[in-house]
Structure 1
Amino acid sequence: MVNYNVYLTSKTILVTGVAGFIGANLTKRLLTDFKDIRIIGIDSITDYYNVRLKYERLEELKRFGDSFVFIKDSIANKSVVETLFATYHPQIVVNLAAQAGVRYSITNPDAYIESNLIGFYNILEACRHHEVEHLVYASSSSVYGTNKKVPYSTDDKVDNPVSLYAATKKSNELMAHAYSKLYNIPSTGLRFFTVYGPCGRPDMAYFDFTNKLIKGETIQIFNYGNCKRDFTYIDDIVEGIVRVMQHAPEKENGEDGLPIPPYKIYNIGNNSPENLLDFVTILQEELIAAKVLLVDYDFEAHKELVSMQAGDVPVTYADTTPLEEDFGFKPSTSLREGLKRFAEWYKEFYQK
């Protein structure tokens, strides 16, 4: 178990992508649990998905008053990032701003280069020129590509991305490593595995399936239902981030007298992949239980098994041993419990 060496109380923390699913939930947790904390949140509110959800998340954060400062802009805008750091002097940075989604990267590559590469470079540069105690940033399980060995370990080679999205996330890890080595910036990358929950991203399967079933449309289940996913509930993701934030990799010198990069990467996943067909069965049961769908809904008539999509991988499966050993934490929310909470939220948000 690591000893915490970063104290969040009375700190100014920058959260990029603050209107996003993970960013908003993390910010709410930090503002609730830590005293005299100030969160500076930046988000460009792109219309990649329904912005109503993003504004809904921001509304919840506004109730924290002056403890939460929101800036509507892009981290790809270097002067905005420089001004933000010069004005607020964040001691801890959590970079969650990114263009997400594997399939969208095939049709809209520009968005990924701008946000995930240029934006992240701007954050690294700002951390370099200001005394930042710890940079925590989002990576993705997508970096594992078509690796055959499971569960995926952070010790595995990840040199075979199958989408531009995955390539940009691997690039973030390499860029962070270079900055950690050159400028002794403590950084920790987190590879998230299929994050889900209430008020999540509508492009994710569980949300997209629900929207389609309500409209009576057919849902497509890829790889004929033989995909497996390590579904990780949002509260587990946030718990992992909060713990990791509080321990920056130690600064130390090697035998050559030069700094050893204060750099770490962890998986945050459920460590128990679920078959897509089982996942769909649980989702439909919980949607009926929450009265989102009728008891006699004919699911079989609305299901279509299809082949694999470009950029997708057949399995995601996280080895979370290092996270457990270093932070005493392992995600534990069951898929049924997580989908139950989603279904109840969906009923309240869309059908009240």
Structure 2
Amino acid sequence: MLLTGAAGFIGFHVAAGLAARGHEVTGIDHLGEPFRRLKQARLDALSASIRFIRDDVTDPERVAGIVHDAAPAIVIHLAARAGVRDSLSAPFAYLRANELGHLCVLEAMRRHAPDARLIYASSSAVYGVRHVGLFREDDRVDEPASLYAATKRGNELASSAYARLFGLRQIGLRLFTVYGEWGRPDMAVWSFADAVLNGREATLYDGGAARRDFTDIRDVIAAVTAIVERPDTGHPEVPHRIYNVCGGASTSVAELLAMIERACGRRAAVRVRPSPPGDTPFTAGDSARLRADYGITTSSDVAGGVERFVAWLRNAPEAMRAAHDE
């Protein structure tokens, strides 16, 4: 199978998890910004497990050539520019990576692997600004709060069109706030733990009032693995189906910081700032569809996940060096 974004946080874990189960994985990544050195460190850790192609999924002919030569039965498309805040300062980079990259994969599969299945990453950001209630896949998602969210909703719409026009079989995964080992240093779990462990200030936006459905990377691996290994589960008559991948609970950022303080055994120095534009105040996902179709029960044990992450971070010098060298 082909897996794009293999050196990214989620791509790295999915590649490692599938390879450990005996799947042959060819990973694709251009190892570009941001976090170039961290991506290389992840790739180094993967080197014995997968075949790797360094290439850019926004080049339509290059992607078409790779798909043609590989003739994959499954493509897992995780390559993207992630994060709401950076999309404000680099809008064209987000449009190119997310919209053009997704289209290149769709076109390559239509032309050279029309019978293959596509599993791709969307985002909880598509749900926009909400303050209460569980987010469900059938909710309206037509008011994105950021360009990043708009690109991810654009991916879903493009996939719906290709499913309808060409019968391309696809599953979109609306990933909530994923955390875990080898994560992204700009996300709260890593940035808070790093700050507390090293005596630096942690930036707390709006006093930590925002609430997030923090989702363990192990649940993402489980969801992708189930979809890969059980192709006839779910709704085979529906060529494009979307699933939430979430913990199923909502934790405030202030509560998250308190969990990290307990796991680190020390208090944080905190700097409070207003929430940046595009940040949403609340996310909470309903994973009933994923559970019904694939039997995946996700974990809402954020405190336990934080303890595992802090233990990893204390003993991850290569990842820490890579992150701080950016």
Q: Structure 2 length normalisation: TM-score? A: 0.92
2:110 maps to amino acid: R
The partner residue of 1:72 within 32, 49, 54 is: 54
Q: Which has the larger radius of gyration?
A: 1
Deviation (angstroms), 1:223:
2.4
1:290-311 alpha-carbon deviations (Å, 9 max, x no partner): xxxxxxx443xx1133332211
Give the corresponding residue for 1:63.
48
The 1-side partners of 2:75 and 2:52 are apart by 15
Cα pair 2:250 2:283 within 8 Å, conserved = yes
The partner residue of 1:21 within 5, 9, 34 is: 9
1:247 maps to amino acid: P
Deviation (angstroms), 1:173:
0.2
CA gap 1:298/1:251 in 2 versus in 1, 3 angstroms: closer
The 2-side partners of 1:93 and 1:74 are apart by 15
The 2-side partners of 1:270 and 1:190 are apart by 13
Cα pair 2:213 2:251 within 8 Å, conserved = yes
Of residues 19-28 and 241-250 in structure 1, the stretch that sits farther from structure 2 once superposed is 241-250
Pairing 1:91–2:73 present:
yes
Deviation (angstroms), 1:133:
2.7
Give the corresponding residue for 2:303.
336
Two-structure CA RMSD over aligned residues (Å): 1.8
The partner residue of 2:276 within 300, 309, 314 is: 309
SS at match of 1:74: coil
Mapping of 1:1-352 within 5 angstroms? 13-34=1-22, 37-49=23-35, 51-64=36-49, 68-129=50-111, 130-148=113-131, 150-245=133-228, 246-247=230-231, 252=237, 262-288=239-265, 297-299=266-268, 302-332=269-299, 334-350=301-317
Cα pair 1:184 1:251 within 8 Å, conserved = no
Give the corresponding residue for 2:324.
none
Cα pair 1:90 1:132 within 8 Å, conserved = no
1:76 maps to amino acid: T
Deviation (angstroms), 1:250:
5.2
- Percentage of identical aligned residues: 35
Q: Where does the alignment leave 5 or more consecutive residues of structure 2 unmatched? A: 322-326
Deviation (angstroms), 1:42:
0.5
Cα pair 2:131 2:281 within 8 Å, conserved = no
SS at match of 1:232: strand
Deviation (angstroms), 1:101:
0.6
1:238-273 alpha-carbon deviations (Å, 9 max, x no partner): 101111233367565xxxxxxxx5110010000011
Question: Runs in 1 of length 4+ with deviation above 6 angstroms?
Answer: none
The 2-side partners of 1:189 and 1:52 are apart by 29
Deviation (angstroms), 1:119:
0.8
Question: Between Structure 1 and Structure 2, how many residues are aligned?
Answer: 316
The 2-side partners of 1:273 and 1:226 are apart by 11
SS at match of 2:244: strand
Q: Structure 1 length normalisation: TM-score? A: 0.85
Q: Where does the alignment leave 5 or more consecutive residues of structure 1 unmatched? A: 1-12, 253-260, 289-296
